[in-house]
Structure 1
Amino acid sequence: MADRTAEAAVPIRDAATVLLMRRDGGNGPAILMGQRGAGAVFMPNKYVFPGGALDAADAGVTLASPLCETCTARLALDAPSGLAAPLAVAAIRELWEETGLVLGTSGAWPAPVPEDWHGFAATGHLPAAAPLNFVFRAITPPGRPRRFDARFFLADAVHVMGDPDDFSQASDELSHLHWVPLTEARKLNLPFITEVVLGEIAALADQSGPPGSVPFFDNSSDTPRFRRLA
Protein backbone atom coordinates (compact mmCIF):
# COMPACT_ATOMS: atom_id res chain seq x y z
CA MET A 1 0.00 0.00 0.00
CA ALA A 2 2.85 2.39 0.79
CA ASP A 3 4.76 2.25 -2.51
CA ARG A 4 3.87 4.18 -5.65
CA THR A 5 6.09 4.50 -8.72
CA ALA A 6 6.47 7.85 -10.51
CA GLU A 7 8.02 8.45 -13.89
CA ALA A 8 11.50 7.96 -12.41
CA ALA A 9 12.83 4.48 -11.60
CA VAL A 10 13.00 5.12 -7.83
CA PRO A 11 9.67 4.30 -6.16
CA ILE A 12 7.94 7.01 -4.16
CA ARG A 13 7.12 5.81 -0.65
CA ASP A 14 4.44 7.36 1.51
CA ALA A 15 5.99 8.80 4.67
CA ALA A 16 5.10 10.74 7.80
CA THR A 17 7.09 13.29 9.78
CA VAL A 18 6.41 14.86 13.18
CA LEU A 19 7.12 18.50 13.96
CA LEU A 20 6.97 18.43 17.73
CA MET A 21 6.81 21.98 19.07
CA ARG A 22 7.53 23.13 22.59
CA ARG A 23 6.16 26.48 23.69
CA ASP A 24 7.21 26.52 27.35
CA GLY A 25 10.83 27.66 26.95
CA GLY A 26 12.31 31.06 27.65
CA ASN A 27 13.64 31.46 24.10
CA GLY A 28 10.29 31.19 22.34
CA PRO A 29 8.86 28.16 20.52
CA ALA A 30 11.29 25.30 19.91
CA ILE A 31 11.15 22.31 17.59
CA LEU A 32 12.57 18.82 18.16
CA MET A 33 15.32 17.87 15.69
CA GLY A 34 18.10 15.33 15.35
CA GLN A 35 21.03 14.67 13.02
CA ARG A 36 21.20 11.84 10.52
CA GLY A 37 24.40 9.79 10.44
CA ALA A 38 27.28 10.47 8.06
CA GLY A 39 26.76 7.06 6.44
CA ALA A 40 23.04 7.48 5.80
CA VAL A 41 21.97 6.96 2.18
CA PHE A 42 19.34 9.68 2.42
CA MET A 43 20.32 13.16 3.67
CA PRO A 44 23.56 12.24 5.52
CA ASN A 45 24.66 14.64 8.28
CA LYS A 46 21.51 16.73 7.91
CA TYR A 47 19.36 17.87 10.81
CA VAL A 48 15.80 16.66 10.33
CA PHE A 49 12.53 16.08 12.14
CA PRO A 50 11.60 12.59 13.36
CA GLY A 51 9.88 10.62 10.62
CA GLY A 52 10.04 7.82 8.11
CA ALA A 53 8.25 5.63 5.60
CA LEU A 54 4.83 4.13 6.05
CA ASP A 55 4.92 0.40 6.87
CA ALA A 56 2.26 -2.03 5.69
CA ALA A 57 1.56 -2.97 9.32
CA ASP A 58 0.60 0.63 10.19
CA ALA A 59 -2.80 0.08 8.57
CA GLY A 60 -3.62 -2.54 11.20
CA VAL A 61 -2.98 -0.35 14.26
CA THR A 62 -6.03 1.19 15.94
CA LEU A 63 -5.78 4.79 17.12
CA ALA A 64 -7.14 5.77 20.52
CA SER A 65 -8.25 9.07 19.00
CA PRO A 66 -8.53 10.02 15.31
CA LEU A 67 -7.15 12.89 13.29
CA CYS A 68 -9.45 15.88 12.99
CA GLU A 69 -11.88 15.83 10.05
CA THR A 70 -10.13 18.70 8.26
CA CYS A 71 -6.77 16.92 8.34
CA THR A 72 -8.31 13.64 7.24
CA ALA A 73 -10.01 15.32 4.27
CA ARG A 74 -6.81 17.09 3.17
CA LEU A 75 -4.74 13.92 3.42
CA ALA A 76 -7.20 12.28 1.04
CA LEU A 77 -6.55 14.86 -1.70
CA ASP A 78 -4.41 13.55 -4.59
CA ALA A 79 -3.69 10.35 -2.66
CA PRO A 80 -4.91 6.75 -2.48
CA SER A 81 -7.95 6.31 -0.26
CA GLY A 82 -7.60 5.20 3.33
CA LEU A 83 -4.14 6.63 3.98
CA ALA A 84 -4.99 9.21 6.66
CA ALA A 85 -5.10 6.93 9.70
CA PRO A 86 -2.08 4.79 8.67
CA LEU A 87 -0.04 7.98 8.11
CA ALA A 88 -0.94 9.20 11.59
CA VAL A 89 0.06 5.80 12.98
CA ALA A 90 3.37 5.98 11.10
CA ALA A 91 4.04 9.47 12.47
CA ILE A 92 3.50 8.34 16.07
CA ARG A 93 5.54 5.16 15.55
CA GLU A 94 8.47 7.03 14.00
CA LEU A 95 8.43 9.60 16.81
CA TRP A 96 8.62 6.77 19.33
CA GLU A 97 11.34 4.85 17.50
CA GLU A 98 13.60 7.85 16.84
CA THR A 99 13.09 9.85 20.05
CA GLY A 100 11.49 7.54 22.64
CA LEU A 101 8.63 10.04 23.13
CA VAL A 102 5.02 8.89 23.34
CA LEU A 103 2.01 10.57 21.73
CA GLY A 104 -0.85 8.59 23.17
CA THR A 105 -3.35 7.97 25.91
CA SER A 106 -3.29 5.46 28.76
CA GLY A 107 -4.69 2.08 27.86
CA ALA A 108 -4.02 -1.60 27.29
CA TRP A 109 -3.33 -2.96 23.81
CA PRO A 110 -5.49 -5.73 22.38
CA ALA A 111 -3.41 -8.84 21.78
CA PRO A 112 -1.32 -9.46 19.84
CA VAL A 113 0.77 -6.28 19.88
CA PRO A 114 2.48 -5.66 16.49
CA GLU A 115 6.22 -6.24 16.62
CA ASP A 116 7.13 -2.60 15.99
CA TRP A 117 4.92 -1.50 18.88
CA HIS A 118 6.14 -3.71 21.74
CA GLY A 119 8.17 -0.94 23.37
CA PHE A 120 5.43 1.64 22.95
CA ALA A 121 2.79 -0.71 24.38
CA ALA A 122 5.03 -1.47 27.35
CA THR A 123 4.71 2.18 28.42
CA GLY A 124 1.00 1.57 29.00
CA HIS A 125 -0.23 3.82 26.20
CA LEU A 126 -2.17 3.58 22.97
CA PRO A 127 -1.30 5.82 19.99
CA ALA A 128 -3.49 8.93 19.72
CA ALA A 129 -3.74 11.07 16.60
CA ALA A 130 -5.86 13.93 17.98
CA PRO A 131 -2.76 16.06 18.81
CA LEU A 132 -1.53 15.87 15.18
CA ASN A 133 -2.30 18.57 12.62
CA PHE A 134 -1.41 18.04 8.95
CA VAL A 135 0.58 21.14 7.94
CA PHE A 136 2.83 20.33 4.95
CA ARG A 137 3.34 17.85 2.11
CA ALA A 138 6.34 17.35 -0.17
CA ILE A 139 7.41 14.76 -2.72
CA THR A 140 11.14 14.18 -3.16
CA PRO A 141 12.33 15.30 -6.64
CA PRO A 142 13.50 12.78 -9.26
CA GLY A 143 17.16 11.82 -9.25
CA ARG A 144 17.45 11.14 -5.51
CA PRO A 145 18.50 7.72 -4.15
CA ARG A 146 15.26 7.54 -2.18
CA ARG A 147 12.00 9.33 -2.77
CA PHE A 148 9.13 9.99 -0.38
CA ASP A 149 5.67 11.49 -0.46
CA ALA A 150 6.05 13.00 3.00
CA ARG A 151 3.24 14.42 5.11
CA PHE A 152 4.32 16.65 7.98
CA PHE A 153 2.29 16.74 11.20
CA LEU A 154 2.61 19.49 13.81
CA ALA A 155 1.97 18.58 17.45
CA ASP A 156 2.34 20.45 20.72
CA ALA A 157 4.77 18.82 23.15
CA VAL A 158 2.21 19.20 25.97
CA HIS A 159 0.64 16.04 24.55
CA VAL A 160 3.79 13.95 25.12
CA MET A 161 3.27 11.36 27.83
CA GLY A 162 6.18 11.76 30.27
CA ASP A 163 9.27 13.94 30.19
CA PRO A 164 9.79 15.63 26.78
CA ASP A 165 13.53 15.80 27.54
CA ASP A 166 13.87 12.03 28.11
CA PHE A 167 15.32 10.45 24.95
CA SER A 168 16.63 7.35 26.74
CA GLN A 169 14.37 5.03 24.70
CA ALA A 170 15.39 6.48 21.34
CA SER A 171 17.01 4.39 18.62
CA ASP A 172 20.38 5.42 17.19
CA GLU A 173 18.92 6.62 13.87
CA LEU A 174 19.11 10.27 14.93
CA SER A 175 21.89 11.74 17.07
CA HIS A 176 22.06 15.09 18.89
CA LEU A 177 18.34 15.08 19.62
CA HIS A 178 17.47 18.44 21.12
CA TRP A 179 14.92 21.22 21.22
CA VAL A 180 15.97 23.95 18.80
CA PRO A 181 14.47 27.45 19.12
CA LEU A 182 12.68 28.30 15.88
CA THR A 183 14.77 31.45 15.67
CA GLU A 184 17.96 29.33 15.63
CA ALA A 185 16.88 26.28 13.61
CA ARG A 186 17.83 27.64 10.18
CA LYS A 187 21.47 27.93 11.27
CA LEU A 188 21.76 24.12 11.32
CA ASN A 189 22.84 21.92 8.40
CA LEU A 190 19.38 21.40 6.88
CA PRO A 191 17.87 19.87 3.75
CA PHE A 192 16.23 22.48 1.54
CA ILE A 193 12.71 21.23 2.21
CA THR A 194 13.29 21.36 5.96
CA GLU A 195 14.16 25.04 5.68
CA VAL A 196 10.92 25.60 3.79
CA VAL A 197 8.90 23.73 6.40
CA LEU A 198 10.47 25.75 9.21
CA GLY A 199 9.43 28.95 7.47
CA GLU A 200 5.86 27.70 7.21
CA ILE A 201 5.46 26.52 10.78
CA ALA A 202 6.91 29.72 12.24
CA ALA A 203 3.58 31.31 11.31
CA LEU A 204 1.72 28.53 13.18
CA ALA A 205 3.62 28.84 16.46
CA ASP A 206 0.85 30.83 18.15
CA GLN A 207 -2.17 28.93 16.87
CA SER A 208 -3.80 25.58 17.51
CA GLY A 209 -5.76 23.38 15.16
CA PRO A 210 -5.18 22.84 11.45
CA PRO A 211 -3.88 25.71 9.28
CA GLY A 212 -6.00 27.53 6.73
CA SER A 213 -4.36 25.51 3.93
CA VAL A 214 -1.50 23.04 3.51
CA PRO A 215 1.48 23.75 1.19
CA PHE A 216 2.19 20.91 -1.25
CA PHE A 217 5.51 20.74 -3.11
CA ASP A 218 4.70 18.17 -5.78
CA ASN A 219 7.85 16.80 -7.42
CA SER A 220 6.28 13.55 -8.58
CA SER A 221 7.39 14.30 -12.15
CA ASP A 222 10.15 16.27 -13.88
CA THR A 223 7.94 19.36 -13.75
CA PRO A 224 7.66 20.61 -10.15
CA ARG A 225 4.37 22.08 -9.02
CA PHE A 226 3.41 24.05 -5.92
CA ARG A 227 -0.15 23.99 -4.65
CA ARG A 228 -2.09 24.54 -1.47
CA LEU A 229 -4.47 21.91 -0.16
CA ALA A 230 -7.51 23.69 1.23
Structure 2
Amino acid sequence: MAKALREAACVIVFNHLEQVLFVKRPKTVKAWADMLVFPGGKVDKTDAVSIASHAYPHIAPRFFHSAVRELFEEVDIALTTPALHKKINQETRRQWRNDIAAKKASFDQLLQETNATPLYESLVPYKQLITPVGLPHRFDTWFFLAQIDAETMEQAETLPFGTELDELHWLSPTDALKGYVEGVFNLATPQLYLLNDLKRFQDTPALWTHAKKKAQTIAEPLLAQRLPVGDDGIITSVFNGDPLHQVEGKTNPLGALNRVILHPNRAQTTVFVSTDKE
Protein backbone atom coordinates (compact mmCIF):
# COMPACT_ATOMS: atom_id res chain seq x y z
CA MET A 1 0.00 0.00 0.00
CA ALA A 2 1.31 3.43 -0.94
CA LYS A 3 2.32 5.70 1.93
CA ALA A 4 -0.06 8.55 2.67
CA LEU A 5 0.97 11.97 1.41
CA ARG A 6 1.76 14.73 3.89
CA GLU A 7 1.44 18.33 2.76
CA ALA A 8 4.55 20.48 3.09
CA ALA A 9 5.91 23.89 2.11
CA CYS A 10 9.50 24.91 1.42
CA VAL A 11 11.05 28.25 0.52
CA ILE A 12 13.90 28.83 -1.93
CA VAL A 13 15.28 32.03 -0.42
CA PHE A 14 17.55 34.25 -2.50
CA ASN A 15 19.74 36.94 -0.93
CA HIS A 16 20.93 40.17 -2.55
CA LEU A 17 23.93 38.27 -3.97
CA GLU A 18 21.64 35.82 -5.79
CA GLN A 19 22.70 33.00 -3.49
CA VAL A 20 20.22 30.44 -2.19
CA LEU A 21 19.72 29.51 1.46
CA PHE A 22 20.26 25.87 2.47
CA VAL A 23 19.98 24.24 5.86
CA LYS A 24 21.72 20.98 6.76
CA ARG A 25 19.80 18.25 8.54
CA PRO A 26 21.58 16.24 11.26
CA LYS A 27 22.88 12.73 10.58
CA THR A 28 20.59 11.37 13.31
CA VAL A 29 17.20 12.28 11.83
CA LYS A 30 15.03 9.72 10.03
CA ALA A 31 14.34 11.66 6.82
CA TRP A 32 16.99 13.29 4.62
CA ALA A 33 19.75 12.82 7.18
CA ASP A 34 22.93 14.84 6.51
CA MET A 35 21.28 16.53 3.53
CA LEU A 36 21.26 20.14 2.44
CA VAL A 37 17.63 21.16 1.98
CA PHE A 38 15.60 24.31 1.53
CA PRO A 39 13.95 25.65 4.72
CA GLY A 40 10.46 24.27 5.20
CA GLY A 41 8.39 21.52 6.71
CA LYS A 42 4.99 19.95 7.13
CA VAL A 43 1.76 21.89 6.90
CA ASP A 44 -0.03 21.57 10.24
CA LYS A 45 -3.49 22.42 11.53
CA THR A 46 -2.41 25.88 12.72
CA ASP A 47 -1.72 26.81 9.10
CA ALA A 48 -5.42 26.68 8.16
CA VAL A 49 -5.89 30.38 7.43
CA SER A 50 -7.92 32.45 5.02
CA ILE A 51 -6.41 35.17 2.86
CA ALA A 52 -8.71 38.04 1.92
CA SER A 53 -6.86 38.99 -1.25
CA HIS A 54 -4.97 36.10 -2.78
CA ALA A 55 -2.88 36.44 -5.95
CA TYR A 56 -2.95 32.67 -6.50
CA PRO A 57 -6.45 31.51 -5.46
CA HIS A 58 -5.91 28.03 -6.91
CA ILE A 59 -3.23 27.34 -4.27
CA ALA A 60 -4.51 26.68 -0.74
CA PRO A 61 -3.60 29.50 1.71
CA ARG A 62 -2.32 26.96 4.25
CA PHE A 63 0.75 26.36 2.09
CA PHE A 64 1.65 30.07 2.19
CA HIS A 65 1.15 30.29 5.95
CA SER A 66 3.20 27.14 6.52
CA ALA A 67 6.02 28.55 4.40
CA VAL A 68 6.13 31.81 6.40
CA ARG A 69 5.92 29.96 9.73
CA GLU A 70 8.60 27.39 8.89
CA LEU A 71 10.98 30.04 7.58
CA PHE A 72 10.82 31.91 10.88
CA GLU A 73 10.92 28.76 13.01
CA GLU A 74 13.89 27.21 11.23
CA VAL A 75 16.11 30.16 10.29
CA ASP A 76 14.73 33.32 11.94
CA ILE A 77 13.66 34.94 8.68
CA ALA A 78 10.28 36.58 9.10
CA LEU A 79 8.31 37.52 6.01
CA THR A 80 6.11 39.84 8.04
CA THR A 81 5.26 43.49 8.38
CA PRO A 82 6.78 44.83 10.50
CA ALA A 83 9.77 42.48 10.38
CA LEU A 84 10.01 40.56 13.66
CA HIS A 85 13.71 41.35 14.09
CA LYS A 86 12.65 44.99 14.36
CA LYS A 87 10.04 44.23 17.04
CA ILE A 88 11.79 41.79 19.39
CA ASN A 89 15.42 40.99 20.13
CA GLN A 90 17.29 37.87 19.03
CA GLU A 91 17.14 36.14 22.41
CA THR A 92 13.36 36.54 22.55
CA ARG A 93 13.00 35.34 18.99
CA ARG A 94 15.07 32.24 19.77
CA GLN A 95 12.78 31.44 22.68
CA TRP A 96 9.73 31.83 20.50
CA ARG A 97 11.26 29.64 17.80
CA ASN A 98 12.12 26.92 20.32
CA ASP A 99 8.63 27.07 21.83
CA ILE A 100 6.95 26.95 18.41
CA ALA A 101 9.09 23.95 17.39
CA ALA A 102 8.21 22.22 20.68
CA LYS A 103 4.49 23.05 20.27
CA LYS A 104 4.56 25.10 23.47
CA ALA A 105 3.47 28.20 21.56
CA SER A 106 2.17 29.00 18.12
CA PHE A 107 3.36 31.28 15.36
CA ASP A 108 -0.07 32.93 15.37
CA GLN A 109 0.36 33.84 19.05
CA LEU A 110 3.65 35.54 18.18
CA LEU A 111 2.00 37.46 15.36
CA GLN A 112 -0.74 38.65 17.71
CA GLU A 113 1.70 39.76 20.41
CA THR A 114 3.82 41.73 17.95
CA ASN A 115 0.95 43.02 15.79
CA ALA A 116 2.75 41.57 12.79
CA THR A 117 1.11 40.42 9.56
CA PRO A 118 2.46 37.71 7.23
CA LEU A 119 3.61 38.97 3.83
CA TYR A 120 2.14 36.15 1.78
CA GLU A 121 2.62 38.26 -1.34
CA SER A 122 6.40 38.01 -0.90
CA LEU A 123 6.15 34.31 -1.79
CA VAL A 124 6.05 33.28 -5.46
CA PRO A 125 4.83 29.72 -6.13
CA TYR A 126 7.49 27.88 -8.13
CA LYS A 127 6.96 24.11 -8.27
CA GLN A 128 4.67 21.54 -6.66
CA LEU A 129 6.46 18.20 -6.24
CA ILE A 130 5.05 14.87 -5.07
CA THR A 131 7.38 12.19 -3.66
CA PRO A 132 7.53 8.91 -5.63
CA VAL A 133 5.29 6.02 -4.62
CA GLY A 134 7.15 3.42 -2.59
CA LEU A 135 9.39 5.73 -0.56
CA PRO A 136 9.05 5.63 3.24
CA HIS A 137 8.32 9.37 3.53
CA ARG A 138 5.97 10.92 0.97
CA PHE A 139 5.13 14.61 0.65
CA ASP A 140 3.03 16.88 -1.54
CA THR A 141 5.25 19.96 -1.37
CA TRP A 142 4.91 23.47 -2.68
CA PHE A 143 8.26 25.17 -3.25
CA PHE A 144 8.06 28.97 -3.10
CA LEU A 145 10.53 31.65 -4.11
CA ALA A 146 11.40 34.55 -1.81
CA GLN A 147 14.02 37.28 -1.87
CA ILE A 148 15.48 39.06 1.15
CA ASP A 149 17.79 42.01 1.65
CA ALA A 150 21.20 42.10 3.35
CA GLU A 151 19.76 43.22 6.70
CA THR A 152 17.31 40.33 6.84
CA MET A 153 20.02 37.91 5.72
CA GLU A 154 22.15 38.90 8.72
CA GLN A 155 19.43 37.65 11.06
CA ALA A 156 19.39 34.15 9.60
CA GLU A 157 20.49 31.38 11.95
CA THR A 158 19.55 27.82 12.83
CA LEU A 159 18.47 26.82 16.31
CA PRO A 160 21.10 25.25 18.63
CA PHE A 161 22.39 21.76 17.87
CA GLY A 162 19.96 19.03 18.85
CA THR A 163 17.02 20.43 16.95
CA GLU A 164 16.07 19.69 13.33
CA LEU A 165 18.96 21.53 11.68
CA ASP A 166 22.73 21.72 12.03
CA GLU A 167 24.11 24.32 9.67
CA LEU A 168 23.17 27.15 7.35
CA HIS A 169 24.74 27.77 3.93
CA TRP A 170 24.35 30.46 1.26
CA LEU A 171 25.30 29.04 -2.14
CA SER A 172 24.64 29.83 -5.77
CA PRO A 173 22.80 27.03 -7.59
CA THR A 174 26.01 26.34 -9.55
CA ASP A 175 28.17 26.12 -6.41
CA ALA A 176 25.65 23.88 -4.65
CA LEU A 177 25.65 21.43 -7.57
CA LYS A 178 29.44 21.56 -7.82
CA GLY A 179 29.69 20.81 -4.09
CA TYR A 180 27.41 17.80 -4.54
CA VAL A 181 29.47 16.36 -7.42
CA GLU A 182 32.68 16.83 -5.41
CA GLY A 183 31.20 15.12 -2.35
CA VAL A 184 31.19 18.24 -0.17
CA PHE A 185 27.39 18.34 0.17
CA ASN A 186 24.62 15.78 0.12
CA LEU A 187 21.58 16.75 -1.95
CA ALA A 188 18.39 14.79 -2.54
CA THR A 189 16.72 14.36 -5.94
CA PRO A 190 14.22 17.26 -5.48
CA GLN A 191 17.03 19.71 -4.70
CA LEU A 192 19.11 18.49 -7.65
CA TYR A 193 16.15 18.81 -9.98
CA LEU A 194 15.16 22.28 -8.77
CA LEU A 195 18.71 23.64 -8.72
CA ASN A 196 19.25 22.57 -12.32
CA ASP A 197 15.95 24.18 -13.25
CA LEU A 198 16.98 27.43 -11.54
CA LYS A 199 20.17 27.52 -13.62
CA ARG A 200 18.04 28.13 -16.72
CA PHE A 201 17.59 31.76 -15.70
CA GLN A 202 20.31 34.36 -16.12
CA ASP A 203 19.29 36.28 -12.99
CA THR A 204 16.59 36.51 -10.34
CA PRO A 205 14.47 39.11 -12.23
CA ALA A 206 14.17 36.65 -15.14
CA LEU A 207 13.30 33.85 -12.73
CA TRP A 208 10.66 35.96 -10.94
CA THR A 209 9.04 37.04 -14.20
CA HIS A 210 8.81 33.44 -15.37
CA ALA A 211 7.57 32.08 -12.03
CA LYS A 212 4.89 34.75 -11.55
CA LYS A 213 3.53 34.16 -15.03
CA LYS A 214 3.44 30.37 -14.64
CA ALA A 215 1.85 30.59 -11.18
CA GLN A 216 -1.19 32.45 -12.52
CA THR A 217 -2.64 29.24 -13.94
CA ILE A 218 -3.30 25.80 -12.50
CA ALA A 219 -0.43 23.45 -13.26
CA GLU A 220 -0.16 19.70 -12.91
CA PRO A 221 1.95 18.73 -9.87
CA LEU A 222 5.32 17.18 -10.68
CA LEU A 223 4.98 13.53 -9.70
CA ALA A 224 8.41 11.95 -9.46
CA GLN A 225 8.58 8.29 -10.47
CA ARG A 226 11.58 6.18 -9.53
CA LEU A 227 12.59 3.49 -11.99
CA PRO A 228 13.78 0.06 -10.73
CA VAL A 229 17.36 0.17 -9.44
CA GLY A 230 19.70 -2.23 -11.23
CA ASP A 231 22.83 -4.00 -10.03
CA ASP A 232 24.88 -0.94 -10.96
CA GLY A 233 23.18 1.06 -8.18
CA ILE A 234 22.05 3.81 -10.55
CA ILE A 235 18.88 5.57 -9.35
CA THR A 236 16.75 7.19 -12.03
CA SER A 237 13.83 9.49 -11.21
CA VAL A 238 11.61 10.80 -14.01
CA PHE A 239 9.14 13.68 -13.94
CA ASN A 240 6.07 14.75 -15.90
CA GLY A 241 6.73 15.13 -19.61
CA ASP A 242 9.61 12.66 -19.74
CA PRO A 243 9.22 9.82 -22.27
CA LEU A 244 9.67 7.30 -19.42
CA HIS A 245 7.09 8.92 -17.14
CA GLN A 246 3.89 6.90 -16.85
CA VAL A 247 0.39 8.32 -16.58
CA GLU A 248 -2.30 5.74 -15.87
CA GLY A 249 0.07 2.99 -16.97
CA LYS A 250 1.01 4.63 -20.28
CA THR A 251 4.30 6.29 -21.13
CA ASN A 252 4.54 9.59 -22.96
CA PRO A 253 6.52 9.00 -26.17
CA LEU A 254 7.03 12.73 -26.68
CA GLY A 255 8.37 15.46 -24.45
CA ALA A 256 11.75 16.57 -23.13
CA LEU A 257 14.12 14.57 -20.96
CA ASN A 258 12.93 15.45 -17.49
CA ARG A 259 14.88 13.20 -15.18
CA VAL A 260 17.57 12.86 -12.53
CA ILE A 261 20.08 9.99 -12.86
CA LEU A 262 22.13 9.36 -9.72
CA HIS A 263 25.30 7.30 -10.12
CA PRO A 264 27.22 5.83 -7.16
CA ASN A 265 30.06 7.94 -8.55
CA ARG A 266 28.67 11.45 -8.15
CA ALA A 267 30.87 12.83 -10.91
CA GLN A 268 28.69 10.84 -13.32
CA THR A 269 25.41 12.18 -11.93
CA THR A 270 23.27 13.57 -14.74
CA VAL A 271 20.25 15.85 -14.47
CA PHE A 272 18.01 16.64 -17.41
CA VAL A 273 15.28 19.21 -17.01
CA SER A 274 12.61 20.43 -19.38
CA THR A 275 13.67 23.13 -21.79
CA ASP A 276 10.20 24.71 -21.63
CA LYS A 277 10.63 28.43 -20.92
CA GLU A 278 7.09 29.65 -21.27
Match of 1:217 in 2: 222
Deviations 1:104-143 (A, max 9, x none): 11399xxxxx932144555552211101111111111122
Match for residue 76 of structure 2 among 100, 118, 124: 100
**C-alpha contact (below 8 Å) 2:131/2:140 kept by paired residues:** yes
- Residue 98 of structure 1 aligns to a residue in which SS? helix
| Number of residue pairs matched by the alignment | 199
Aligned-partner Cα distance in 2 for 1:219–1:142: 8
Read off the aligned partner of 1:32 and give its amino acid letter.
L
Are 2:198 and 1:201 equivalent residues in the alignment?
yes
Aligned-partner Cα distance in 2 for 1:19–1:96: 14
- Evaluate the alpha carbon distance shift between residue 195 and residue 221 of structure 1 in structure 2; reply closer, same or farther with a 3 A threshold: closer
Indicate the larger mover: 208-217 or 182-191: 208-217
Match of 2:61 in 1: 85
Read off the aligned partner of 1:116 and give its amino acid letter.
S
Aligned-partner Cα distance in 2 for 1:175–1:123: 28
**C-alpha contact (below 8 Å) 2:223/2:240 kept by paired residues:** yes
Counting aligned pairs with the same residue, the percent is 25
Question: Could you tell me how far 1:152 is from its partner in structure 2?
Answer: 0.3
Stretches of structure 1 that go unaligned for 5 or more consecutive residues are 1-6, 76-83, 109-113
- Evaluate the alpha carbon distance shift between residue 121 and residue 39 of structure 1 in structure 2; reply closer, same or farther with a 3 A threshold: farther
Match of 1:135 in 2: 126
**C-alpha contact (below 8 Å) 1:102/1:120 kept by paired residues:** no
**C-alpha contact (below 8 Å) 2:158/2:165 kept by paired residues:** no
**C-alpha contact (below 8 Å) 1:18/1:50 kept by paired residues:** yes
Aligned-partner Cα distance in 2 for 1:185–1:127: 30
- Residue 89 of structure 1 aligns to a residue in which SS? helix
Read off the aligned partner of 1:14 and give its amino acid letter.
E
- Evaluate the alpha carbon distance shift between residue 205 and residue 191 of structure 1 in structure 2; reply closer, same or farther with a 3 A threshold: same
Match for residue 11 of structure 1 among 4, 19, 26: 4
Match of 2:55 in 1: 68
Match of 1:190 in 2: 187
Match for residue 116 of structure 1 among 93, 106, 113: 106
Which protein has the larger Cα radius of gyration, Structure 1 or Structure 2? 2
Aligned-partner Cα distance in 1 for 2:115–2:156: 17
- Evaluate the alpha carbon distance shift between residue 135 and residue 88 of structure 1 in structure 2; reply closer, same or farther with a 3 A threshold: same
CA RMSD in angstroms, aligned pairs only: 3.3
Instruction: Write 1 or 2 for the structure with the bigger share of helix.
Output: 2
Match of 1:46 in 2: 35
Greater relative CO (CA pairs within 8 A, separation 6+): 1
Question: Could you tell me how far 1:183 is from its partner in structure 2?
Answer: 2.2
- Residue 8 of structure 2 aligns to a residue in which SS? strand
Query: TM-score, normalized by length of structure 1?
Result: 0.73
